[in-house]
Amino acid sequence: MHGFLRLAAAVPDVRVADVNHNVEQIVALTHRAAAEDVALAVFPELSVTGYTCADLFFQDRLTAAAAEALGRIARETQSCDTIIVVGAPLYHRNRLYNCGIVIQSGLVRGVVPKSFLPNYKEFYEKRWFTPGADVFDEWITLNGEEVPFGVDLVFGGGHNLVLGVEICEDLWNVVPPSSRLAQAGATVIANLSASNELVGKADYRRDLVRTQSARCVAAYVYSGAGPRESTTDVVFGGHGLIAENGMVLAETARFVGGNELLCGDVDCERLRATRISETVMPDNDMLGVQVVELSSLPVPSVLRREVTPLPFLPSEPSKTHERSREILSIHSSGLAKRLEHTHAHVVVIGVSGGLDSTLALLVARAALERLGHDLDRIIAVTMPGFGTSKRTFTNAVSLCRVIGAEVREIDIVPACLQHFADIGHDPEQHDVTYENVQARERTQLLMDIANRERGLVVGTGDLSELALGWCTYNGDHMSMYAVNSGVPKTLIQYLVRWVADQSSAEVRDVLLDILDTPITPELLPAHENGEIAQKTEEVIGPYELHDFFLYHMVKYGARPRKIGFLAEHAFDGKYTPKEIKRWLDVFVKRFFSQQFKRSCIPDGPKVGTISLSPRGDWRMPSDAVDDLWRDDV
């Protein structure tokens, strides 16, 4: 289903050294996982015997029973396409190894030994087991069958799932095996663990799993031994974690007991796209490993995953202040450097009373403060035209005055009427020429003022407008430094609101009214009652949808059909599937047809992971045909 696979951390009710009981729990959880369309279920370390058997591992009765149990697990889960990874002690060449065993559809597909054994107070595995870090390209005899054995195994299961296995302490090593497995193509890492609980250890463990998933650009499934393990000296909590590229998708409540099945839906297509576009993997990434092919995998019929409708916004509310300050610091530092380098005496900004020029003005203020300059070096030019409303004009002037900028007002109507006469255009014909004449007149004025005052024109256009081409070529499309070019509309709203919350009542009131004003270029005459006639989102669609489409298309290369599916999930109850499809088609059409504008945009700071600068992040021919994408819509 659109590249999603359901992965699970399974924590069975283990009894120490009771192999028959443990097998029953593993089989039952496997069938439960299969019924829930789970593609991969990971069990804890040594889950067949229990981790805390200690010197009982020297007993042949236990190890022989464990090996036989694997055959029983395989037989009793033969009807399940779910991949399971269980833990057991296995002999190989007269050495005992702590192993992860990969089983699917009644077959043991491979065995991976634990690479690094703990050697400290409560755990001294070297007393019983042999480290497996140097076991490569071997075979182990298991219940009469030869099975691939080694730390060089990856398991391919289709749907972009390539499985690598490491065991508990391996993750704590300086260079975990999962790092090498990811380089070898693994997109999902299974960790069978028996990490005991100590005060604060769960937080550390969670961070390890989360950061390793990010470092490997992979999904990471961690299954820890449960509270039914022996409590002779330590206690286990049954900590299960599922992470995807730095984000924890699901986590168990610890110390619960019973048979736990923690599920999380992982986007394997997204992982593949991220690896292709954003990471550096060795050119020979598939060399030095054995690839074990698996059977087809179950695919979930319903998505069990939260999809944020606002992907450009900080995901953690607790970090709102930190993230907003960081974004504005990137903005203002970039502008400060450009002002310093060009020896610009002033900053020239066209202010409209809208969101974009508001953020540009706030960034200019921060840049001048960073340079230690007076704020009257900001020349804020308001240029009322045919569609300027009293509300936006008042807000523009009020904001400039309360932050200390110099305000200049230039009425562009006479110049535009002269221009209409020069080119033979009827001013009663409110078409694209009528609109663009105003936008280009404003840009010409700003450029000429900057020349006269030895200044630099700061652009106000944002990332969303660049994606849609919602700008006038060589009008608001052009500036000397485009501070908003890396910021989408939804993030601009977020940042302006954050600044409002930090500001004096006088500034806050103006900013909140700007936020409450409909988004508009105001290039068409207002209604007779003075209300805004031209509302952007009524023409091209909601910006929150377009920003969502932009994020998934550019960052992950998602096809339109998948983007629409995700949007239906994220905006359920707000937009109908029909509305989403309509605006997605508009987005695709405009994104392709307007590339020529993005091919020659001015410099501007990159703020997040997505930019449409032709000099770095997005290189696309202006003549590309959109048929494949629109057909997919």
Q: Are strands 138-142 and 145-149 parallel, antiparallel or unpaired?
A: antiparallel
What SS3 state is found at 276? helix
What SS3 state is found at 408? strand
Could you tell me which residues come within 8 angstroms of residue 15 by beta carbon, excluding any fewer than 6 positions away?
Answer: 21, 22, 50, 228
Strands (E) across 388-478 are located at: 406-409, 455-459
Tokens 């691939």 found at: 148
Order of strands across the sheet that contains 247-251 = 247-251, 240-244, 219-224, 188-193, 161-167, 153-158, 290-293
Tokens 């960052």 found at: 555
DSSP tag of 45: T
- Active-site residue identified among 53, 114, 555, 562: 114
Per-residue CA distances from 178 to 134, 233, 485, 585 (Å): 15, 30, 38, 41
- Active-site residue identified among 45, 169, 465, 522: 45
Alpha-carbon distance of 130 to 94, in angstroms, equals 10
> Annotated catalytic, 263?
no
Alpha-carbon distance of 416 to 410, in angstroms, equals 12
Alpha-carbon distance of 420 to 414, in angstroms, equals 10
- Active-site residue identified among 53, 80, 99, 168: 168
Alpha-carbon distance of 78 to 463, in angstroms, equals 52
**61 phi-psi bin (left φ>0, alpha ψ -120 to 50, beta other):** alpha
Tokens 């995953």 found at: 305
Alpha-carbon distance of 196 to 439, in angstroms, equals 65
Neighbours of 366 (CB within 10 A): 18
Yes or no: say if 592 and 629 are a contact pair by the CB < 8 Å rule. yes
Structure tokens at 256: 């619960």
Tokens 């699970």 found at: 8
> Annotated catalytic, 114?
yes
Tokens 């390890």 found at: 208
Yes or no: say if 378 and 360 are a contact pair by the CB < 8 Å rule. no
Strands (E) across 133-253 are located at: 138-142, 145-149, 153-158, 161-167, 188-193, 219-224, 240-244, 247-251
Q: What HEC string does 104-149 produce?
A: ECCEEEEEEECCCCCEECCEEHHHCCCCCCCCCCEEEEECCEEEEE
CA of residue 497 relative to chain centroid, distance: 23
* CB crowding 544-581: b at 16 or more within 10 Å, else e: bbbbbbbbbbbbbebbbebbbbbbbebbeeebeeebbb
Q: What burial class does residue 310 get, using C-beta atoms within 10 Å of its C-beta: 0-12 exposed, 13-18 middle, 19+ buried? A: middle
CA of residue 410 relative to chain centroid, distance: 44
> Annotated catalytic, 293?
no
Of 252, 113, 82, 138, nearest to 192 (Cα)? 113
Q: Which residue(s) pair with 84 in the sheet? A: 41, 103
Annotated active-site positions, please?
45, 114, 168
